[in-house]
Structure formats: C-alpha cells, structure tokens
Structure 1
Amino acid sequence: MKEVIKRDGSIVKFDKNRIVRAISMAFTQNKKDIKTDLIEKISIQIENIDSEKMSVEEIQDLVVKKLMASSEKDIALSYQEFRTIKTELRKKEQVIYKKIGELIDASNSDMLNENANKDGKTISVQRDLLAGISSKDYYTNRILPKYLKEAHESGRIHIHDLDYLLFRETNCELVNIENMLTNGCNIGNAKMLEPNSVDVAVGHIVQIIASVSSNTYGGCSIPYLDRALVPYIVKSFRKHFSRGLKYVDRLDKESIKAILESTSINFSNKSLEKKYPSAFAYATDMTEESVKQAMQGLEYEINSLSTVNGQTPFTTVGIGTETSWEGRLVQKYIFTTRMEGFGAKKE
C-alpha cells in the first residue's frame, strides 16, 4: 500500500510508524509490556497489502482484526475503545466548528440577534457568543447528567443560560444600594466612599449597576431608589442653601458657618424659610434642578451602558414608598424623564 485517504478526503503517503505508535499506546494504557515483534509484524502486513490506497478507517479495522487474531485481545479492545473516543471527539469538534462558522457568517442573523439587549454587530457581543459556544458544549458534555443532556437536546426541557452555567455566575441580582452608598464599596481597584450630593450618588449607582451586570447574567434590581437617595438630596439642599446665604442674602462666611452649625438644614425645617426666605427658595429650586438632572442622567446612563459581554444592563428600579419631599422629587423626575423619552421630539 502506498497512500492513505484521510478523513477529510486528502491523500498522504502511507507511514507504518503511525500504526506502530497507535498499537504501542494501547499496550501502555493497559500497563503491559510492549510486544515489539507483534506490532512490527502487523504494521508490515498492512504495509504489504496489495492495494494502492486505503482509508484510515479501513486500516484501523485491519489493526483491530489482527490484534483480535493474536493473543492480545485486550489490546484490541483497548485500541477499539480509544478509536471510538477519538471518533466522538471529532464529531463534537465538527459541531463546534459548524456553530463557530455560523456565528462568523454575517448572514446568520438569528444567532447574532438572539438577545434584544445585545447588539450582534459589535465585537464584544460576537466574542461573548463565541465563548458561549465552547462553554455550552463543555457544560453539556462534561458536567450535565446524561439524562438532562438528552432531555435538553431532544426539546423535552430547556436549560436556560447554558453558556454561563459553567462559570457558576448568579442571576438577577437584588442590589443593596443603600448599604453600598452609605458604607462605600469597592469597584475594581477603586474604593468608592459615601457621596456628598445627589449627582455623585447617582454616578456611584451607575458604576455599581455596570459592575454588577458585568459579573452576572440576567437583570439587576435597584430597590427603594427614592429612599436611598434622600440623604444625598438633603446634602445637596444644604450645599445650595449655603450658597444662597452667600450669594443671595450676602451673609459673611462666619455668619453662614454659625447658621449651618446651629440649625438643621433641610427642606422640612420651615423655620429656615421664615428666617431666610430667599436662600431657602434658591436652595429649593436648585435642589429640584439637581434631582431632575440626576434622574435624567441615571436614565440615560442605564440605557447607554454596555457590560463586558456587550449587553445593555437589564435594570429594574423600585420607587414609590418614600413620602418625604426629597423622595417625591426622585419619583417625579423618574416618571417625567420616562414619559418624555429619548432623543429629539418629532414635530
């Protein structure tokens, strides 16, 4: 025999050493002494077959038959078992390569548009989908029990988010935003301290949403947003009231300091309105404007964020239980921003 037809249809020159190595490996796996004479005999017999070409599968069939005809039937079984395993691996590889090819093929819109929160035209999304192909295959064939694998593949059940289960990520996070704002939190290498204004607090919230969403799958929920922001709206009111005393009422630095240290500075303290009506009105207007801008910023940021896998975070914001003036401002401008929508309005 002079040539061998490979599985991909290509033709190569016959090399008996490949047979020698394969049978020797079977002896080694069975922890038996390698019988060089037997291996050499089988390889020469196959080499001397009166045929110009044979396929790889035909040659392997001959190896098994000749081993079975010898005293080394266990080696024949081991060789055949290894051959079967390799065949299964090749089949799995073909499936993976096919899926990768479908992903790379830009015409496959179904795969690229399987998730409405992901823009399938971006590199980050396509890279995430590519990683998902291999992680799905590994989880299905190496971790998932056989009966569940068969049920999933036959369509009797559907195992959701198979491309992420391998990494044991959590899903649909309920984020304790109040605790993270009050006590600070670590994001990457940065320590985020408690904010001193509503706009900075909203900036922290956006970063928290982005970080949580990038390290999980599914959505994240921000409960009691209005209640969580009240302390920082109070801080903003205090800052604006201080500026009102300085630039509207024209008080000196020492007088302002004395007022701030001796009086509770917040909207609910109506004595402030009586004593300093101009500064109070200024602080009220500026605080409301700050909350308006912060809520618009939050809405825009949430809808323009992109996680590491290219997904727009699926975010749920909870409001409605807070009845203070500060909390009701948050509710007012969240709804106002939602109702006005994004982009230029059509005439």
Structure 2
Amino acid sequence: MKRVIKRDGSVVEFDKERIINAIKKTFEQASKEPNMKLLEKIASQVEELPSKVLSVEEIQDIVVKKLMASSEKDIAMSYQSYRTLKTEIREKEKGIYRQIGELVDASNEKLLSENANKDAKTISVQRDLLAGISSRDYYLNKIVPKHIKLAHIKGEIHLHDLDYLLFRETNCELVNIETMLRGGCNIGNAKMLEPNSVDVAVGHIVQIIASVSSNTYGGCSIPYLDRALVRYIKKTFKKHFLRGAKYIDDLSEEQIEELKKENLEYSNEAIKNKYPKTYEYSVDMTEESVKQAMQGLEYEINSLSTVNGQTPFTTVGIGTETSWEGRLVQKYV
C-alpha cells in the first residue's frame, strides 16, 4: 500500500481522490470544465509509481510536470501559483514571526522549557531564545541545502545546536586548566596571574568556566581537577606551616626565613618530626582549606549565569591523582 508523508510529518494511506479533487479545484478556479479523463490518468500514474512512500511536495511536483506535459499548461501554471501561495502562507504561519510572538506572549511552553539549564523568565534567556529563533531560521533557509532542511523538518535527521551553528563557534570545550593556572591567562582585558593558594586557584577556575561557557556553547569539561590543584594545595600547606611555625613553635623572623628554604610539604617526614604540632596544624588547616574550596567550587558553578542566561553545563574529572593533596580534592568533591 502506497503511503504519503504529510507536511506535519504524519504518514497516511495514499488516496488518489485527493489528487483529483485538488486539480479539479484548479480547473474550477480558472472557470474551465475539468478534464476528468486527464485527472484520472494523472492520479493513476502517481499511484502506480514504484516508490511506496511519497511526500505531499513530491506528489505536487509530479502533478505539475504531468499537467505541463499535457494540453492544460495554463492549469499547470495556475496549480503551481496556488501551490506557491499556500506555501508562503504556511511558512508565515509557522515561521519566525509566529515563533517570536509565542516567545513574547509566553504561549509556547515547549520553547520556554526546552532547556533545563535556562530560566525562561529572565531577560537574558529570552534574549538568547530570540536570537536562537532568528539563527535557526536563517541557517535553515539560507545556508543548508534544501534537501537537508526538509530532512530536518521531517525528522529524518536532526541538526543539533541550530541556535549557534550560524556563528561557526566551537562547542563542548575541554579546558586545559593546568596550563591556564600555571602560566596565568587573560580573561577579557584582565590578566590572571598564577594563584598562590587553593582557594584562589578555584576562584580562577570558576572565572575560566564562566568565560569559556559565555563564549562558546555546549559543555565545559575540566579534566584532572585533582592533579591541577596539587601545586596550589602544596602552596596552601606551606602558608599554614609558616604561620604555625610563628605562633605554635614561636620561631623568630630569621628562623622563619631559613625555614622557607626547606621543602615544606606534607610528604617531608623531616619537618613532621622536627615540628610535630605545626605539622599537625598545617595538615588540619590545609584539609579545611580544600574542603571549603571544593564547597565553593560547587556553589559557584551552580550559581553562575553565562551571557545567555544558562548555568554552565560543567563536567569535572577526578580520580587519577594518588598524592595526599590530590586525594583531598577527591574526598571533598
């Protein structure tokens, strides 16, 4: 049984009477007596085509060709003109102006709730949705080939991220956080220097996530967070150790300056044995610093809002680092 794909994507059984009636109306509008023999012939020829599935547009194309090949060329022209007019009306009804109207009137629930990361009640998100409507319309009608557009509309394929494809931006960034932290980086006109503590390093990471997410689209992945933060947890441990040496072991300024030359890290058994209380204090304070930094990282990411009104879609990778510092990050993440 031959089937027909309607414009809304639904599939119905072929009915040649629909073809006959459509051509018949064209004859009547032209004030001509319908050539029923020709109408029956064209409808039967469409029915006998080997293709089991035809779209409405394909059937109409065939009808125009058959009419043009007959003695009823004027009817073919009228049929095509009417078809074009109806297409323009449909496009206007379902096109960009209708979508904008639905956005402004908040009448399209699907449009307003299509992205769980966006609050469609905010101006920034509504502005982004408006930009997306115009970008999709332009991309589908001006850039992609017609057969690709039709396949997308029918649901045979799906063009992902149509809101942003027009701008040829990259998406789903894998951010080299270690290099950006160690070498410093620019965000806009601001130069961020290398951090000297884990809390400042996390603050930098949050700013990087916000900047990357605002200038691209899709996900933002932060790989090896635990490994990237080891360097700054060690700096934090050293700061706490020097403070403990001053207030717990009562070292003089000169002694502290000499102590700075030593390897003040968790793994150094010598300082652990020489300054046990300061060492214990540094371990506790560093652990608390990492805990607060990880709490801050989660809160900051989930409360961020990018320029398009979206909470950054962020992936954080951990688990490969085996040092004490790295395991602290894993623990508190």
Structure 2 residue aligned with 1:320 = 319
- Residue 308 of structure 1, CA deviation: 0.4
The one-letter code of the counterpart of 2:210 is: A
Q: In the aligned structure 2, how far is the partner of 1:120 from the partner of 1:227? A: 37
Measure, in 2, the Cα distance between the counterparts of 1:163 and 1:283: 50
Other-structure match for 1:204: 204
Q: 1:2-44 CA deviation, whole Å, 9 max, x = no partner?
A: xxxxxxxxxxxxxxxxxxxxxxxxxxxxxxxxxxxxxxxxxxx
The equivalences for 1:1-347 within 5 A come to 91-92=91-92, 95-261=95-261, 263-334=262-333
Cα distance, 1:106 vs. partner? 2.2
Structure 2, unaligned runs of 5 or more: 1-80
Q: Secondary structure at the match of 2:115?
A: coil
Q: Counterparts of 2:154 and 2:94 in 1: how far apart (Å)?
A: 19
Please state whether the residue corresponding to 2:231 is helix, strand or coil: helix
How many angstroms apart in 1 are the aligned matches of 2:133 and 2:306? 19
Shift of 1:275: 0.4
What TM-score does the superposition give when structure 1 sets the normalisation length? 0.69
Distance between the aligned counterparts of 1:205 and 1:299, measured in 2?
A: 11
Q: Deviations over 1:65-101 (max 9, x none)?
A: xxxxxxxxxxxxxxxx9xx89x959955972111001
Q: 1-side partners of 2:247 and 2:126: how far apart?
A: 55
In 2, Cα distance between equivalents of 1:159 and 1:174 = 22
Distance in 1 (CA, whole Å) between partners of 2:101 and 2:88 is 20
Cα drift, residue 147 of structure 1: 1.2
SS in 2 for 1:302: helix
Distance 1:257 1:217 in 2: 49
CA displacement at 1:322 relative to structure 2: 0.3
**Partner residue in 1 for 2:72:** none
Q: Is the CA contact 2:196–2:235 (under 8 Å) kept in the aligned structure 1?
A: yes
Whole-Å Cα distance in 2 between the matches of residues 259 and 99 of structure 1? 68
Does the 8 A contact of 2:92 with 2:98 survive in 1?
no
Deviations 1:161-197 (A, max 9, x none): 1110001111111000000001111101101111000
SS in 2 for 1:117: coil
Q: Distance in 2 between matches of 1:94 and 1:294?
A: 49
Deviation, 1:277, is 0.8
What is the TM-score normalised by the length of structure 2?
0.72
Cα distance in structure 1, aligned partners of 2:156 and 2:198: 50
For this pair of structures, how many residues does the alignment match?
250
Query: Aligned-pair distance for 1:136?
Result: 0.7
Find the aligned partners of 1:183 and 1:211 in 2 and give their Cα distance. 17
Post-superposition Cα deviations, 1:248-307, rounded to whole Å, max 9, x if no partner, equal 11111110110111x111000011111011111111111000000000000111111111
Q: Identity of paired residues, percent?
A: 76
SS of the residue corresponding to residue 254 of structure 1 reads helix
Query: Separation in 2 of the partners of 1:107 and 1:156?
Result: 27
TM-superposed CA distance for 1:107, in Å, is 3.6
**Secondary structure in 2 matching 1:265:** coil
Q: Distance in 2 between matches of 1:318 and 1:188?
A: 26
Instruction: Letter of the 1:152 partner, please give it.
Output: H
- Offset at 1:328? 0.3
Counterparts of 2:310 and 2:321, CA distance in 1: 31
**SS of residue in 2 equivalent to 1:157:** coil
Q: Deviations over 1:95-142 (max 9, x none)?
A: 211100111122422211100111111111111000111111111111
CA distance in structure 2 between the partners assigned to 1:161 and 1:92 by the alignment:
23
Deviations 1:211-262 (A, max 9, x none): 011111111110000000000000000000000001111111110110111x
Aligned partner of residue 203 in structure 1, secondary structure: helix
